[in-house]
Structure 1
Amino acid sequence: MSVSPPRPKGPPLNALRAFEAAARLGGFANAAEELCVTPGAISQHIRALEAWIGADLFERRSQGVRLTALGAEALPGFATAFDAMGAAVHAMRSAARHGTLHIAALPSVAQLWLSPRLPAVRAALPDLRISVSAIESPPNLARDLFDLSLFIRPPTGARGERVLARDMILPVCAPEIAAGLRSSDDLVGETLLHDALWPEDWAQWARARLPGISLPTNGPRYSLYAIALEEARHGAGVLMGHQSLVQSALDDGTLVAPFDLAVPTGKALVLEHPAFDPPRADLARVLALLGGQVTG
């Protein structure tokens, strides 16, 4: 009778995933955010992996963690492996669920830029089922199960990126408020509306357009840019407008830009798709449709 000896067990996949994410992103907190777990869970997974191999992968310091020589040597192989696994999962899912498109977008972009454009996309591709997830941070399209992402962020030059518009900011407000603003210096006496995602907008704009002048910082703050935009429409104060998000309101006259003083933020409205292979036909059509609607 043959006897099968016990086979050595490898480390858990979750531990390897935690190591790769923490090593690639430079810390446990960043890895936890990407993997939707707690930093404590990441730490526990990595401790278990270190116990399994019998060596440290990170140096723990009071100001954070740093890869050991062993961890740095191991990272490229694991990054390549997880990218390959992500590509395989994308391919399998795409083949099994052809006709479905999943888009990840910044909430403000989803509400103010993407949503008005989706009817035209659906009219052009009536058999395509489109889902939209509003999330705060851009997904890793090599790993996450999205077909497209749409965010205001710094462009990276990645192969799957398309820059739709430079991110330009400028003050916007209701027409009745604009009527009382003779120059940009008058903003010192106005209620300024602030968005939680872009808390430095007013300071960045003021450095470029009002050097040496301190603008008030005690105005209302909003966790959703779309709410801040509605407040500005109803006369609550002056909002720092991201031009691609406020252009439709400027076009219909519910908001006005009292000063022609736009400032580039160094970011852009970026449309991205996974850069594994040429996009499938329906995805390529959506890219063309959205890429052709860059005004505003």
Structure 2
Amino acid sequence: MPVKPPGPRQPPLNALRAFEAAARLGGFAAAAEELNVTPGAVSAHVKALEADLGAPLFTRGARGLSLTRLGARALPGFTEAFDRLALASQSLRAEAAPNVVHVAALPSVAQLWLSPRLPRLRAEAPEIEISITAMEAPPNLKRAPYDLCLFFGPDPEGRLVQDEILPVCAPALAAQLSNPEDLNRVPCLTDSVWAEDWQLWARVAAPGMRLVPRGPVFSLYALAVEETVNGAGALIGHRALIAGHLASGALVAPFGASVRLPGGLRMFSPRPLRPGTPAARVARWLRASL
């Protein structure tokens, strides 16, 4: 009777993923955010992998993690392997659903810039389906399962519009504002992501003025915009995101003085867009919509 001995047991794929992400990003918390799990789960996977190997991959200390020699030697191979796996997965997804375009965007961009454009895009290209994921930071481009990304950033490559900020408010509140000093007398709404906007604007547009903005803080810029439309106070508007509100008159710029920031709204892709593909068509359409 033939004997078929069992082959060597392979480490679990999830454990290898946890090790590679933690090693590449420098910690369990960062790896957990990328993998959409808890830091405890990443730690448990790595410990199980180390136990399975019978050797440590990390040195754990008061200042955090550092790779052992074994871990450092292993990392490049696993990073290359998972990059290739991600690319293959993206190609498989694109072939399985060729008319679906996956977009990753900053929440405010998704709600205030992209969403108003979608009805016209659907009318002009009804065969293309747009899937949108809102996230606070750009994804890892080598691993991202997205076709297009829309985020603010300093890199001029892929820039759609320059970032420009200015105070805005509802028309009724604007009647109470004669000069920038009056901002100290009304609620000044603040977005937690762009918490420095008021000071950035004041330093350039109103030098010498002591501005102490007081008012509610919002974790969602789109909500801050809606509350500004409702008359809750003044807000530093990013022109690309509030252009529609300014055009309709729902918001006005009481002082007119705007400040251009170094960065801007960018559109980029994790990989080159082949001409004629749905993703390339959507990218071209969005640029033409400006």
TM-score by shorter chain over 0.5: yes
Aligned to 1:132: 132
Q: Report SS of the residue matched to 1:261.
A: coil
Aligned to 1:97: 97
Identify the match of residue 221 of structure 1 among 217, 220, 225: 217
| TM-aligned CA deviation for residue 212 of structure 1 | 5.8
User: 1:34-92 CA distances to partner (integer Å, 9 max, x unpaired)?
Assistant: 11111111111112222233333323232322333433333222222111111111111
User: 1:6-55 CA distances to partner (integer Å, 9 max, x unpaired)?
Assistant: 21112111111112212222221111111111111111111222223333
User: 1:200-252 CA distances to partner (integer Å, 9 max, x unpaired)?
Assistant: 32233334445565533541122322221111112211101111101111122
Equivalent-residue separation in structure 1 for 2:154 and 2:70 (angstroms): 32
Conserved? CA contact 1:20–1:75, under 8 Å: yes
> Do structure 1's residue 232 and structure 2's residue 228 form an aligned pair?
yes
Q: Report SS of the residue matched to 1:165.
A: strand
| TM-aligned CA deviation for residue 116 of structure 1 | 1.2
Equivalent-residue separation in structure 2 for 1:280 and 1:86 (angstroms): 23
| TM-aligned CA deviation for residue 182 of structure 1 | 2.6
CA 1:93–1:222 in 2, change beyond 3 Å: closer, same or farther? same
Equivalent-residue separation in structure 2 for 1:119 and 1:236 (angstroms): 29
CA 1:32–1:228 in 2, change beyond 3 Å: closer, same or farther? same
Q: Report SS of the residue matched to 1:15.
A: helix
For 1:292, the aligned partner's letter is A
Conserved? CA contact 2:152–2:263, under 8 Å: yes
| TM-aligned CA deviation for residue 256 of structure 1 | 1.5
CA 1:47–1:205 in 2, change beyond 3 Å: closer, same or farther? farther
Equivalent-residue separation in structure 2 for 1:144 and 1:293 (angstroms): 25
Greater shift in the superposed pair: 65-74 or 25-34: 65-74
Q: Report SS of the residue matched to 2:127.
A: coil
Greater shift in the superposed pair: 11-20 or 101-110: 101-110
> Do structure 1's residue 169 and structure 2's residue 169 form an aligned pair?
no
RMSD of aligned Cα (Å): 2.3
Q: Report SS of the residue matched to 2:139.
A: coil
Conserved? CA contact 2:100–2:278, under 8 Å: no
Conserved? CA contact 1:141–1:147, under 8 Å: no
| TM-aligned CA deviation for residue 276 of structure 1 | 5.7
Equivalent-residue separation in structure 2 for 1:266 and 1:56 (angstroms): 45
Greater shift in the superposed pair: 82-91 or 169-178: 169-178
User: 1:156-206 CA distances to partner (integer Å, 9 max, x unpaired)?
Assistant: 85xxxx221222222111123223323223222221001233223223333
CA 1:217–1:64 in 2, change beyond 3 Å: closer, same or farther? farther
| TM-aligned CA deviation for residue 275 of structure 1 | 0.8
Equivalent-residue separation in structure 2 for 1:195 and 1:119 (angstroms): 27
Where does structure 1 lack aligned partners over 5 or more consecutive residues? none
Q: Report SS of the residue matched to 1:244.
A: helix
Conserved? CA contact 1:87–1:276, under 8 Å: no
CA 1:60–1:38 in 2, change beyond 3 Å: closer, same or farther? same
Equivalent-residue separation in structure 2 for 1:170 and 1:100 (angstroms): 36
> Please, what TM-score do these two structures have when normalized by structure 1?
0.88
How do 1:19-98 residues align onto structure 2 when only pairs under 5 Å count? 19-98=19-98
Q: Report SS of the residue matched to 1:70.
A: helix
How do 1:272-291 residues align onto structure 2 when only pairs under 5 Å count? 272-275=268-271, 278=274, 281-291=277-287
Equivalent-residue separation in structure 2 for 1:24 and 1:71 (angstroms): 11
| TM-aligned CA deviation for residue 265 of structure 1 | 4.3
Where does structure 2 lack aligned partners over 5 or more consecutive residues? none
> Do structure 1's residue 205 and structure 2's residue 193 form an aligned pair?
no
Equivalent-residue separation in structure 1 for 2:6 and 2:213 (angstroms): 66
Conserved? CA contact 2:183–2:213, under 8 Å: no
Equivalent-residue separation in structure 1 for 2:214 and 2:141 (angstroms): 38
> Do structure 1's residue 293 and structure 2's residue 289 form an aligned pair?
yes
Equivalent-residue separation in structure 1 for 2:252 and 2:105 (angstroms): 26
Conserved? CA contact 2:273–2:280, under 8 Å: no
Identify the match of residue 196 of structure 1 among 188, 192, 212: 192
> Do structure 1's residue 13 and structure 2's residue 13 form an aligned pair?
yes
